[in-house]
Amino acid sequence: YEDLFAVMHDDERRRDMTQRYAACEAALRAGVHTANEYGDRELLLRCLQTLANVYMRTECFDDAVRVTDAAVRVERTPARVRVLLHALQRRIAHVFAHGDFDVDVTEEQTDPARKAQNDELLKLNYQYWIEYQWLRDQPEFDWPAYVARHAHALCQVLIYVGSILSNALLVGPDDKQYNEAVEASDEAVRVAEASGDAELLCVAEAKRVYVRWSRADDTRKRALLVHLEELQARHAPTSSVVTDTAAELREQYDKLTACQRCGATDAEFRCAKCKLARYCSAECQRAAWPRHKQLCKSDERFEQLAVRCQFAALHVWLQTAEALLAIMAALNRGGHGDAVHDEAARARCVVAARVDRAVPRDEHVVGRC
């Protein structure tokens, strides 16, 4: 084992050792077994560290993460945690570069291999976030120097963690996880500011706005949207993340505050019963009532459903349901052929899919909606 340790520090012999890493791996694994058997902690840590170096140099990043994590469990120090973060960072980059995973994690995944890759990516990023939090709080940790070297990779992890934990379709209305998502997105902005990269700052700010959007009231939504659009105008970022996020949230906000009858934005008045439908004037509300009254608090479970669903634009549900009622009325009148039947079937599928994702555990509510 001493010879192996010497080889790792010999630049001329290191390449030859890497080419024969299988034999070195077997020897080091035997060293780990021996150290565990005799309770030799120092030998165990040296074997694990050397084995992790072999895995890193041969791009076996999943094994490197596993071995480094084992070393951290034996002895948690800032230096070992930094090595673990480096291994996690390389593994995450490798999965992004070579993996076949879905960016839209909200979609149903039917391919087991692809789902496994998504699960691994989530686990790696979350483990990085947990270990980074511990390292950040250590007095001897040089945070500015770490950010200067790893700002982009660190921001990528923080943005990913914030996006996942704030997704109500995945984690549900969990306040603890949502607060953790806010903390991760805030930390991403802090890292981007420290790095001095305007492009990175715009991306981090866009993701932070997106995280906070789902639970913000109308006033807060407007403030978040104005802040993002001002940031976009000031820095003119080239990333599509910023422009697409701003456009998507602007569309959501305009639809959320749109009059249910004429479509005017920033409609100030709400239906006094359901608190969902908006109108720009009393005239529009009276004109829309014949259609709206079929849905307006027709069942207490609809109100419960609206409270439980953590979507930013519940008005879309309302508009979809009203459109479906209009289609079904046309069907009852007859004379519209197969096209109307097909449209009704598509509308029913859309509503059913949205309800099923929101409240999969309450069959009665799903059936009513």
pLDDT along the chain (369 residues), means of 10: 59 58 78 88 88 84 91 92 93 78 45 66 89 93 92 92 73 72 93 92 92 84 89 88 87 80 78 78 84 63 45 47 56 50 56 52 47
For residues 269 and 289, give the distance between their C-alpha atoms in angstroms, rounded to a whole number: 14
pLDDT at 18: 55
pLDDT at 58: 78
pLDDT at 308: 44
Nearest to 49 by CA among 28, 77, 35, 18: 28
pLDDT at 85: 94
Give the amino acid at 332: N
- Two tokens at 332? 């009852």
- Two tokens at 325? 């009622």
For residues 64 and 57, give the distance between their C-alpha atoms in angstroms, rounded to a whole number: 9
For residues 359 and 280, give the distance between their C-alpha atoms in angstroms, rounded to a whole number: 31
pLDDT at 217: 82
- Two tokens at 281? 């004037």
pLDDT at 305: 46
For residues 90 and 67, give the distance between their C-alpha atoms in angstroms, rounded to a whole number: 14
For residues 290 and 298, give the distance between their C-alpha atoms in angstroms, rounded to a whole number: 13
